[in-house]
Chains A and B, each alone.
Chain A
């Protein structure tokens, strides 16, 4: 737990697995952890902007999710990100939504 802000360490997410024998991770050192986190935020924002939302890193230990109207929520990891996004949005964030897939395909083209 962080003594200043009282944030408990979150449960280990598979994309942020700690380095141990055989396990693939990019969390080798503080710099690579930070680099990976910045990439995660960028990739999540690539999807979230279709819902009018943004996410930002918060102290390297959580994410801050915001809507266009300013509603904000702090989330621990990527799993909680989608739960919170759906709650703020009031509808599902579905990667199998054909309309969303089409938008993502257009971005790639």
Chain B
């Protein structure tokens, strides 16, 4: 007998700039038999959608959203399309898919898509946010990150980074881009599409830092001479002693209200006073995921650890503010 459907169907977003290999990645993932029970929703900017033909899988669980960008002009259609999939699944008109993959246009800001799933009055009771997978073209990625703010944002909020076209890029170019990405997003696991085995389970499972249970800020060190995406700064801070949850909540809500657009990412694990196990927090701009109880500490370190990826904000001031507002007296 098949396993029961999960209470909340995880939604994975595949994003990345134009031509960065999103559809190729999706095609590769869908070859995995473990993803046979996956519904796919593709958004293309052009009038004539082509991506679904490239996937060579046309069935009723493959939905196209054309003629507009899912993050702005057709956001309502995204919500309707997911509700329609859910409705047809509930009525037995569709195979009971266990996860939903959304491939956005290369120009899309990922935040409104995540916000739709998290905040829509119907969707939030049936779907949960899974991972955000961002593809970055190893050949052109450095230039794109520098010139296209959407591209830097897509990389900054990624839970998983996939460096594509590494077979046609020089190793120096790929290494340089990796350092550049580490500066924007220091802790997302990174795959090289040509060399690495793209394990669907590792890419899709979990909900970013919450499930991995660690905030690893010690990946490949950023290049000190790298001036790309220079207005995006990463702050990793740790705090001895437990955090007052209420105080932290009031502060983070105030911070996101005023600076949510600039805070591309806030994630971390907190040693919350009166809680036996750590609590993972995860925010993308104005959107805060439900805080999660981790089963156990990932290591011996019991300090609270938080990572902020921000555009145009002073990291030193964020740290001062965090300590002044959230510290326990």
Residues of A that sit less than 8 Å from B by CB? 11-15, 17, 21-26, 36, 39-40, 43-44, 47, 78-79, 81-83, 92-96, 98, 101, 104-105, 108
Contact = CB atoms under 8 A, between A and B. Distances in A.
B58 interface: no
A42 to B, nearest CB: 8
Contact of B249 (A12, A15, A92, A96): A15
B293 interface: yes
Interface residues of B, number: 37
A45 to B, nearest CB: 10
Nearest to B249: A15
Given A40-B250, A82-B254, A95 B325 contact: yes
A21 B8 CA distance: 11
Interface stretch (B12-20, B60-68, B311-319): B311-319
A86 B245 CA distance: 24
B302 to A, nearest CB: 17
A44 B249 CA distance: 10
B321 A23 contact: no
B293 A24 contact: yes
Contact of A96 (B119, B121, B124, B258): B258
A95 B262 CA distance: 14
B258 A40 contact: no
16 contacts: A14-B249, A14-B289, A14-B290, A17-B291, A24-B290, A40-B246, A40-B250, A43-B246, A79-B256, A92-B258, A95-B251, A95-B321, A96-B259, A96-B318, A108-B327, A108-B329
Contact of B257 (A36, A82, A98): A82
B250 A23 contact: no
A12 B121 CA distance: 10
B288 interface: yes
A83 B286 CA distance: 13
A43 to B, nearest CB: 5
B255 interface: yes
B291 A95 contact: no
Given A40-B250, A94-B258, A22 B324 contact: no
Given A15-B249, A40-B250, A108-B327, A95 B255 contact: yes
A23 B291 contact: yes
Nearest to B119: A11
Contact of B293 (A23, A36, A92, A94): A23
A59 B248 CA distance: 24
Give the 5 A-B CB pairs with smallest separation, nearest first.
A15-B249, A104-B324, A14-B288, A82-B257, A24-B291
B272 to A, nearest CB: 8
B314 A96 contact: yes
A101 B319 CA distance: 10
A12 to B, nearest CB: 8
A39 B244 CA distance: 10
Contacts of B259: 94, 96
